Amino acid sequence: MPTATGKFLTVAEFCAEFQISRSTFYDWRAKGRAPRCRKLPNGDLRIDRADVERWLDSLEDANR
């Protein structure tokens, strides 16, 4: 699933991909439920594609 920006997703790209609002993303982040983010010197967040994949793996239903 490559993105226009490559290996890192912006918050907007992540939200669009998972069809969630920015407020949902920040709620998940505050509760420790979002994938790991990196904060740039300008304050913007970036999410590594590998962290998204690990996050998705962690959400897999154990009853499968």
Give, as one character, the DSSP assignment of residue 3: B
28-63 per-position pLDDT tens digit = 999 999 999 999 999 999 999 999 999 999 998 766
The pLDDT of residue 3 is above 50: no
- Domain spans in the chain, listed from the N-terminal domain onward: 8-58
Please report, for residues 2, 17, 45, 63, the alpha-carbon distance to residue 48 in angstroms, rounded to integers and kept in the order given: 11, 14, 10, 28
